[in-house]
Amino acid sequence: MKPNRNFNLLLTGQSLANIGDVLYIVSIIYIIFELTGSATAAAFVPFTITSSMFISNTMTPLLMQRFNLKWLLAGSQMGKTALLMALAFFLPQLSLSNFYGLFLVISLVALLDGCANPVTQSLIPNYVKSEQLLKANGMTETITQLIQTAMWFVGSSLLIWLSANEIVWLTAGLFLISSILLSSLERVDFTPSKEHGKWQQLSQGWQTVSTSPVLKRIAWMDILETIAGTVWIAAILYVFVSDALLADEKWWGFINGSFFLGLIAGSLFCLRFSNWIEQKLSQFIFLGAVSSSVITIAFGLNSLPALALLFSFLVGVSSQIKNIPQQTVVQTSVSKAQLPTVFTTLGAIGTGTFGVASLFMGVLADAFGIRSVFILSGILLAVVSLIAYKGRILLWRTVQE
């Protein structure tokens, strides 16, 4: 892929922001657990983030009517920079009587972060030629997953040498650099009709998804896959390692890490063979879904830790082999002007589904046993593969057009 100034700026700026996001969450969870000694209080952090990002995804279309996409993305990072600096000044005064204020900051940061992902996904097709789009998506996913895999380890290790407050200052610095880089992007206008009322602006993406056969199909696939994917959250995996594999905590870390390595491997595969995959998007979406289904069921029935490691890796690979081509289909299924509202709608569907499904899977695991939720996950992914198979002609036609 030839150097592209705008794409490189976007990728670098968002990568620095993603590094900062992980460091910030690590430090916040550490601070809350050290202060309260409550695992429940620490676990409330991801719940707060997910809930706020759902609200943000829902409301972002209104912001898109008023702000240029470039400045909406850069402005969200500037706002996060200011919030992290304010948090760094607040932390020395933190105590049990006022630690709830942390959740307000967490919520505000997540509200700003919620618009970043759909805006980034909408900007990529504007900065990259259509024939390089799948390669650009593969590169973006590879770097994102590398950051996710490495920075949780790096962040927890940094706590040995730095205080949580110093890590928050470091994060604010990363957000500031990200803001500067994103401010240097070329302007991309998003100018839908302003004659519509606020409700029509908010519902525009939902209407586009509901009236587009390919996007409606992808939305249903996303819902089912998101529900299925909640079995890979840390809490469910921990119970599986303890109750099903009868292994100690280190295997929890190994399996979790193996899953992320699989995501990286899948992204690299799509990057390496992008030209081939570009011609067979619908086939790879189906292949990724059906292989994820089979391997997830095998994982749930397995009792050997080493084999669980392999299955976890293969699920990660299969997920990316499906998701990267699927994202390319979305980016090429509607006009560039419609992409921002489409991605905010799909983002809202994903975050809303994930929040509810996480609690649902936990209840099912307690009621029917930990293996049952992995079997259910595999069945849901089988339904996803069936939807993909039935829509293979539709997906192919959309991309060709």
Q: How confident is the model at residue 296, as a pLDDT?
A: 96
Q: How many CA atoms lie within 13 A of 56 on its CB side?
A: 23
How many angstroms separate the CA atoms of 185 and 183, rounded?
A: 6
Contacts of 46 (CB under 8 A, 6+ apart): none
CATH of 5-186, one of 3.60.20.10, 1.20.1250.20, 3.40.50.2000, 1.10.3720.10: 1.20.1250.20
**Please, are residues 56 and 114 in contact by the beta-carbon 8 Å criterion?**
yes
Q: Could you give the CA distance from residue 209 to residue 219 in angstroms, rounded to a whole number?
A: 8
Length of the chain measured in residues: 401
In terms of DSSP H, where are the helices of 230-304?
A: 234-239, 249-272, 274-278, 281-301
Predicted confidence at residue 10, as pLDDT, reads 92
* CA-closest candidate to residue 326, choices 382, 273, 377, 384: 384
Global pTM exceeds 0.85: no
**What pLDDT does residue 202 have?**
59
pLDDT of res. 201: 54
What DSSP state is assigned to residue 99?
T
Helix (H) or strand (E) holding 241: none
DSSP string, 340-389: HHHHHHHHHHHHHHHHHHHHHHHHHHHHH-HHHHHHHHHHHHHHHHHHHH
**CA distances to 19, 185, 305 from 144, in Å:** 9, 20, 27
pLDDT of amino acid 225:
93
Residues 339 and 39: their CA atoms lie apart, in Å, by 39
46 residue type, one letter: P
Alpha-carbon span 347 to 115, nearest angstrom: 9
Over its length of 401 residues, how does the chain's per-residue pLDDT go in tens digits? 455 888 899 999 999 999 999 888 888 877 877 787 765 566 577 778 888 888 887 777 777 777 788 888 899 999 999 999 999 888 888 777 777 788 888 899 999 988 887 788 778 888 888 778 888 888 888 888 788 777 876 777 787 888 888 999 999 999 999 999 999 998 876 555 554 545 555 577 778 888 888 888 889 999 999 999 888 876 678 788 888 998 876 787 788 778 888 988 998 998 888 888 888 888 899 999 999 999 999 999 999 999 999 999 999 999 999 988 888 888 877 777 777 778 778 888 887 788 778 778 878 888 888 899 999 999 999 999 999 888 765 555 454 44
**CATH superfamily of domain region 199-400:** MFS general substrate transporter like domains (1.20.1250.20)
Residues 365 and 375: beta-carbon distance below 8 Å: no
DSSP secondary structure, 68-113, as one string: -HHHHHHHHHHHHHHHHHHHHHHGGG--TTTTTHHHHHHHHHHHHH
Outline which parts of the chain fall under CATH 1.20.1250.20. 5-186, 199-400
Rounded to the nearest 10 degrees, the angle between the axes of helix 213-229 and helix 392-400 is: 120
* pLDDT value for 290: 95
> Which tokens is 65 given?
């009517």
Which DSSP symbol is given to 186? P
